[in-house]
């Protein structure tokens, strides 16, 4: 069963990694999204993540299930952080394992692309010079459906 | 009927509110809710006429019919990751 979580607590990648892997799997992949110190030529000092928490958990679960089905592996865990994050802190973790590497890469990428398309989470960038702005986002699909391509299909 | 509107992120800051209760006639749609809110005054007039919305935690088109007690969230363009 894929695992999904939305949390305000700091993320521990090892905890997610421990949820995947099996004797059948020869590939284990860990992706971390981190807060970077620049955006469009401006120096960034930190990021505030806001989410529609109840819905975000539902959507993230569905994304994890889709990735698991499309890439034929139940061994997938994803968590997204909310709240105030400093430069270098981890905002998202995707751990996945599969018999061969292609499925793991495909599933990990699918989860991240769909998070960017439809997870109801927003982030405000704080700049070193003092201002702050909501990061320009993606209009989610009105029916919430996955992208037809999404790097998916047969891995 | 009465529905609960919720505003997040940029929409929360634009309206100055995290939510609003709205009375609507039976059979009203999400589009009717948006029109009703936008006519309420300057603070809600700043909402876009065709935002993405979720009804009871699911993305929904603007023609979706609402029921008493529904929660309708106004979803700004998303930026997770």
* ipTM of predicted complex: 0.95
Residue A53: its chain B contacts at CB < 8 A?
none
End-to-end CA distance of chain A: 20
> Å from B5 to nearest chain A CA?
13
Residue B62: its chain A contacts at CB < 8 A?
142
Highest mean pLDDT among A13-22, B32-41, B42-51: A13-22
Pairing of strands A121-127, A42-51: antiparallel
- Provide the pLDDT for residue A149: 57
Q: Bigger pLDDT: A151 or A32?
A: A32
């Amino acid at each position: 069963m894929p695992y999904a979580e939305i949390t305000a607590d700091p993320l521990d990648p090892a905890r997610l990694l421990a949820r995947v892997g099996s004797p059948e799997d020869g590939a284990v992949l860990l992706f971390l999204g981190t807060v970077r110190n620049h955006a469009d030529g401006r120096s960034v000092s930190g990021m505030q993540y806001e989410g529609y928490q109840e819905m975000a958990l539902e959507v993230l679960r569905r994304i994890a299930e889709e990735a698991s089905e499309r890439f034929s592996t139940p061994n997938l865990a994803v968590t997204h952080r909310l709240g105030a994050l400093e430069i270098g802190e981890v905002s998202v973790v995707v751990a996945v394992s599969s018999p061969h590497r292609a499925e793991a890469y495909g599933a990990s990428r699918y989860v991240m692309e769909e998070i960017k398309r439809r997870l109801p989470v927003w982030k405000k960038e704080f700049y070193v010079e003092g201002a702050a702005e909501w990061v320009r986002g993606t209009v989610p699909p009105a029916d919430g459906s996955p992208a037809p391509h999404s790097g998916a299909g047969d891995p | 009927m009465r529905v609960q509107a919720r505003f997040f992120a940029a929409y929360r800051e634009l309206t100055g509110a995290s939510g609003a209760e709205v009375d609507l006639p039976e059979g009203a749609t999400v589009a009717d809710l948006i029109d009703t809110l936008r006519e309420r005054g300057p603070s809600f007039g700043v909402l876009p006429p065709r935002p993405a919305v979720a009804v009871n935690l699911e993305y929904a088109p603007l023609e979706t019919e609402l029921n008493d007690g529904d929660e309708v969230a106004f979803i700004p363009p998303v930026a997770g990751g």
